[in-house]
Amino acid sequence: MGDGATPADPGWYIALGDSMSIDLYPLLELRERGVVEAGDARAVGAAALLHENDDALWPEFTGRDLSNMVPGIQRLEVTADGAVIDSVLASQLPGVPPEVGEAARVVTLTAGGNDLLGGLFGGLGGLEAATGRAVERYGGLVEILARRFPDAALLLTTVYDPTDGSGLLPGASEVLGRLPMELLDRFNEAVRAAAARHDGAVVADVHRRFLGHGLSVPPGERWYWEPSPIEPGARGASEIRRVWLEALEEQG
């Protein structure tokens, strides 16, 4: 047990990574649908819901969150829209106070998707090179997290595919044609391999859960934010949270 916690200490949940975790896009969708008022800034992203469910929005998860599983557990969310793997290392981890890190009980990581998207600016060849870099950097990041948070359940999240396997992404495929989704598969295999190397880590397979809920189905059935379907919508945030909960339950 780290010096920052005792067996009776409920500790901390720390959220690291990109927009798969944040409130912004789910909240925008709820405002657009009139579910919440324009000035309502409630916490409805995946990380917030994992910590404390919004019972009015998602009654099926009433009592099923970290706040009920570990009463008193606190949340530190240092996620950021547009974050890449290096952002977690350079900007987010320094934002975790040592005493919080020592008392970490659960850590979620959503990272890698923006690294792959950034490679698109270099064409398909650039994407392949970006994937190789992302695989290497992700493995190094997980090594650091495992050492930094030795008493935490480390949930490593695979990157979803809004194209549902087609490789046809609006805004990119018009220029590049079909995107090579096998590169996304390669990165997600690296996420699974990183989890297998560490006893405290577990895969949260969002990629698998989201297949069939993207651009292959009508807009009302998608789990993504319609104006930019690389971002999670309200249902998407809840489903990411569901995958995390199931991963924790599986880990025991």
Amino acid identity, residue 83? A
Can you say how many angstroms the Cα of residue 144 is from the centroid of all Cα atoms in its chain?
A: 18
Domain-located, residue 90: yes
Domain-located, residue 4: no
Using one digit for the tens of pLDDT, what is the confidence trace for 136-194?
A: 999 999 999 999 999 999 999 999 999 999 998 887 777 777 888 999 999 999 999 99
Q: What is the pLDDT of residue 164?
A: 97
Number of structural domains the chain divides into:
1
Torsion of CA 27, 30, 32, 37, to 10 degrees: -90
| pLDDT exceeds 60 at position 2 | no
Domain-located, residue 216: yes
CATH number at residue 91: 3.40.50.1110
| pLDDT exceeds 80 at position 252 | no
- 3-state per-residue secondary structure call for 137-195: HHHHHHHHHHHHCCCCEEEEECCCCCCCCCCCCCCCHHHHCCCCHHHHHHHHHHHHHHH
Confidence of residue 5 (pLDDT cuts 50, 70, 90): very low
Closest CA to 158 of 46, 15, 20: 20
Where residue 244 falls (left for φ over 0; alpha for ψ -120 to 50; beta otherwise) is alpha
- Whole-number mean pLDDT of the chain? 93
- Whole domain around residue 65: which residue ranges? 12-251
Domain-located, residue 19: yes
What is the arithmetic mean of pLDDT over 27-48?
95
Domain-located, residue 1: no
SS3 205: coil
**Higher per-residue confidence, 92 vs 252:** 92
CA pair distance 183, 160, nearest whole angstrom = 12
Domain-located, residue 5: no
Domain-located, residue 91: yes
Using one digit for the tens of pLDDT, what is the confidence trace for 103-145?
A: 999 999 999 999 999 988 777 778 899 999 999 999 999 999 9
Confidence of residue 211 (pLDDT cuts 50, 70, 90): very high
Domain-located, residue 7: no
Report percent pLDDT > 90 for the chain.
84
Q: What is the pLDDT of residue 202?
A: 97
| pTM (predicted TM-score) | 0.94
Q: What is the pLDDT of residue 8?
A: 59
